[in-house]
Amino acid sequence: MNVLISADMEGVTGVTAPEDVHPGTAAWERFRRLFVRDVNAAIAGACDAADDAQVIVTEGHNTMRNLLIEELDERAQLIVGHHTTYVMMEGIDRGIDLVFLVGYHAPAGAVGVLSHTFLGKGLLDLTLNDETCSEGRMNAMLAGSFGVGVGLLTGDQAACADATRYIPGVRTVAVKEQIDRYSALCLPPAKTEAAIRAAAAAAVEDATAHRPLVADPPYRWSATFANPSSAGRAALVPGVERVEAGTVTWSSDDFATSYKTFQVVAMLVGVSFESPVFD
């Protein structure tokens, strides 16, 4: 049983503020440890259910260098760094049987803790085949394109509700109840770790029931930015068309190709922000 854990940070136990997840802050140093505890709980659950479990954790937050490997459960391996092919889902092409999404959050525009889609600011809306596309949905679709299902998602209640809409039968663990984008009613780590471990074990035990998320091509994407200049920059990517001042679209019959196009668009736009006020 080969399990890939895609780990993000905004949906981790106790996280509610931007400084909690921003590298270099005192709060980030504190929440790095809660981050690894949530991940370790998922690893432990997978190993509880399958003695032969092989677990790969792929970092999915910011610099993708946040998890403390010295505190990671020794039964797992860790992919670190952002120079990868599948970004938050690096490793999906390594014979994976089941995917866990740990520490996930709601999409841009939703009422959820630190809600956004890939870019922390500037991306107002992302749709895939005319439906809102969160990071969880796009990553579940990528897993599905490799024939792999998602068995578990953890995060706030908004992220969990989002997941149940697009992944039938997925197990979810809500570690906090969103009050607003920067506040939540949080469960303590002792409770969230136990819940994550139990849900991870149940997902592995019932792995064959977690069917891959698939949809018929073409895969049509639309991204709307707060700054029209961002759309102009995104339209520099071959195959991406600017259809309105702040909106670009692209499509492909191959999901992985369309996914990679979004990653290029997001990275190009992300490095080109010129002002923290006007972008």
Give the residue numbers marked as catalytic: 116
Residues composing the chain? 279
Cα-flanking dihedrals φ and ψ of residue 134, to 5°?
-80, 170
The sheet that has 219-225: what strands, in order across it? 131-132, 123-128, 219-225, 247-252, 241-244
Token reading at 227: 């700054």
Does 8 appear as a known binding residue? yes
138 CB neighbour count, 10 Å cutoff: 26
Does 10 appear as a known binding residue? yes
CA distances from 221 to 122, 179, 244, 251 (A): 17, 30, 14, 6
Q: Rounded to an integer, what distance in angstroms lies between the CA atom of residue 32 and that of residue 22?
A: 10
CA atoms within 13 A on the CB side of 98: 29
Token reading at 66: 């946040």
Using an 8 Å Cβ cutoff, are 156 and 135 in contact? no
CA distances from 57 to 4, 22, 82 (A): 6, 20, 13
Binding residues for Zn(2+), as ranges, are 8, 10, 61, 105, 135
